[in-house]
Amino acid sequence: MTNEQTAQEAGRAPEQPVHTIITGATVLSRTTRPAPNYTALPRTDVAARGTATFLDDHAIGIRGNTIAWVKPSVEVTLAERDAATTLIDGRGHVAIPGLMNSHTHSPMTMFRGSAEDVPTSEWFNAHIWPMEVNLTERDVTLGAQLAVGEMLLAGVTSFADHYFSTDRIAEVVASSGARALLASTFFSSQGEEGIERSAEFAERWNGAADGRITTAMGPHATYTVNDADLEKTAEHARRLGVRTHIHASESPSQTRSSLDRLGVTPIQVLHDTGILETGAIIAHGAGIIEDDLRWLRPWADRVAVASCSKVYLKHAQSGGTPVKTLHDAGITVGVGTDGPASHNTLDVLESVRFLSMVQKNVHSDATWLTSQHALDLATRQSAHAFGLGDSLGALLPGYTADIVLIDTLVPHMQPMHDLAAALVLSVKSSDVRTVLVDGSVVVSGGRLTTIDVASVADELQRRVPALRDTSHGRSIQDYAP
Ligand SMILES: [Zn+2]
C-alpha cells in the first residue's frame, strides 16, 4: 500500500512527495548566537563564542518549498531517490542557508563605479542624487535584474531593498525566483504622495510571488523624513503588519548633529515616533551610542541593525556599526552590502569578511567576532532582521528550502581545518555552484537558470551616457544630515 492510499483511506490529503534531494554534502544546519561579553569568558568555553553545527555526508529532502528532512546520506532510501524529480550531488560541497542581504538598493548596479574616491556628502550631492533625476522605469528593471543575477550567483537568496519604482523590482523578484523584503523609498520633500505610495506598495505586494515577496515601509532617513511623517509611517506599518526599513544614526557626526539641533539622537527619534515598536531594520547605526540601548532594548525581538562594513571603510568613516555594544545588549545585527554604487558588489560573503575583520581591528582583539559568530550574523540573525527567523537562516526540517551549495574542493579552501573560518575568510562567491530558493533551483553548475544577465548588462551599458548626464542641474534631494 502506498503512502497516498493510506492517506486517502484516512481521509487526509495525500502528502506531497519529496521532489528534490541533495546528497553527500556537509550541511551547516544551524548556528547559535554567542554569549554576551564572550571575550571576557574563559577561552575554554568554546560554546560561548557561538557554534556552527556542520553535519558531514548528509542529505536534504525538499517537499514543496520546505525542508522535509536532513539525515545521513546512507539513510536515503532507493524509493526516496526514485520518487524525487531532482537529485543533486553535494559531494565536495558545503550546504549553507541562503545568504541574506539585510540592506541594499539593488537597482543602483546601474551606478556601480560612477562616484569613486569622494566623501559621503559629495557622493550624494555631486553624483548620485543628480544622476537619479535621469532614472526611467526601464533602468530600474535592468538594474534590479543585474543585481538579482549577481546576488543569486553569489548565494544571496534574499535581499532587503530600499528604492524607487519598486513595482519594477517586485516584478524582477517574482520572475527571477529570488526572495526579497521590499520597501518603497520616500522623502518628506515629496509631500503626502511619497508616503502614500510607500504604504500602497507595501499593502499590494506583501506576500506576493507565493510569499517570496514581503514588504516594509521605506522612509529614507531620520534627516530626510520629518517626525510627523515618521509617526504616519508607524501607523501604516501597524495597520499593514509590516516593518520599517530606514537609514538612521549612520555616523557619529550624524548623531552629534541630531543632538545639537533637536536634543535627541536619531534612535530616540525612531523610538518617539513609534517606528521601533512596529519593528525596524536600521541601516548602518554607526552613530549608535551607549545611551541609545535604552530605546532599542525593549524592542530587541523586532529591531535589527544592518551593517555594511566595506562602505564605511571606503568612505573613510572609522568605526562603523558598534556590533559589540549591540551584541552585548542582545540586539540583532544583520549583514548588508548597501547599494552597489557605494559597495561596488552585492556580495554578502565579501561583506561578512569585511565585518569580521573590521571588528577585530576596531577592538584590537583577535578573539572578538569569531567565524562562528560571523556565520550566525549572515544567516540566523539576518533572517531575524527580515522578521523571518522562524523559517529562514537554518537548514532544519520545517524551514523554507533556501539552500546554497559551495564547492570546498578549491585550492584556496584546502586543506580543511576549520570550515567556519573557511566560509568567512577563504571562500570566494564564485565557489557557489547551486542555489535553491523556495525549493526551486535558480543557479545550477554556477549558472543562472532564470535571468539572461549578459543582455541586461549590454542594455544597461548603452544607458550609461544618459544616466551620467547631470547638465540639467537638478537633484532628487539635498544631503545635509
Ligand atoms: Zn543605504
CA of residue 254 to ligand 1 center, whole Å: 15
Overall average pLDDT of the 471-480 stretch: 84
Give the pLDDT of residue 9.
54
CA neighbours closer than 13 Å in the CB half-sphere of residue 468: 12
Say if residue 180's pLDDT is above 90.
Answer: yes
Listed in order, the ranges of the chain carrying CATH 3.20.20.140 are 99-385
Give the pLDDT of residue 136.
95
By the CB criterion, residues less than 5 angstroms from ion ligand 1 are 283, 338
CA of residue 263 to ligand 1 center, whole Å: 25
CA of residue 478 to ligand 1 center, whole Å: 15
pLDDT digit string (tens) for 292-318? 999 999 999 999 999 999 999 998 887
Say if residue 425's pLDDT is above 90.
Answer: yes
Give the pLDDT of residue 12.
60
CA of residue 306 to ligand 1 center, whole Å: 10
- Torsion sign across C-alpha atoms 445, 460, 151, 171: negative
Q: Which CATH number fits domain 19-97+401-445: 3.60.15.10, 3.30.365.10, 3.40.50.720, 2.30.40.10?
A: 2.30.40.10
CA neighbours closer than 13 Å in the CB half-sphere of residue 389: 19
**Maximum mean pLDDT: which of 47-51, 109-113, 302-306:** 302-306
Say if residue 150's pLDDT is above 60.
Answer: yes
Say if residue 403's pLDDT is above 60.
Answer: yes
Give the pLDDT of residue 261.
93
The set of residues, in sequence order, having a beta carbon less than 8 Å from that of 278 and lying 6+ positions away, is 234, 237, 238, 242, 243, 244, 302
Listed in order, the ranges of the chain carrying CATH 2.30.40.10 are 19-97+401-445
pLDDT digit string (tens) for 384-400? 999 999 999 999 999 99
**Mean pLDDT, the chain, as a whole number?**
95
CA of residue 351 to ligand 1 center, whole Å: 14
CA of residue 105 to ligand 1 center, whole Å: 6
pLDDT digit string (tens) for 347-382? 999 999 999 999 999 999 999 999 999 999 999 999
Q: What architecture is domain 99-385?
A: Alpha-Beta Barrel (3.20)
CA of residue 282 to ligand 1 center, whole Å: 10
CA of residue 308 to ligand 1 center, whole Å: 9
CA of residue 103 to ligand 1 center, whole Å: 6
pLDDT confidence of 279, banded at 50, 70, 90? very high
Residue with the larger pLDDT of the pair 101 and 314:
101
CA of residue 90 to ligand 1 center, whole Å: 36
Whether residue 335 contacts residue 352, with contact meaning beta carbons closer than 8 Å, is answered with: yes
CA of residue 104 to ligand 1 center, whole Å: 6
pLDDT digit string (tens) for 120-149? 888 889 888 899 999 999 999 999 999 999
Say if residue 164's pLDDT is above 70.
Answer: yes
CA of residue 92 to ligand 1 center, whole Å: 37
CA of residue 291 to ligand 1 center, whole Å: 24
pLDDT confidence of 4, banded at 50, 70, 90? very low
The set of residues, in sequence order, having a beta carbon less than 8 Å from that of 133 and lying 6+ positions away, is 470, 472, 474, 475, 476
CA of residue 330 to ligand 1 center, whole Å: 23
| CA 83/CA 19 separation, integer angstroms | 7
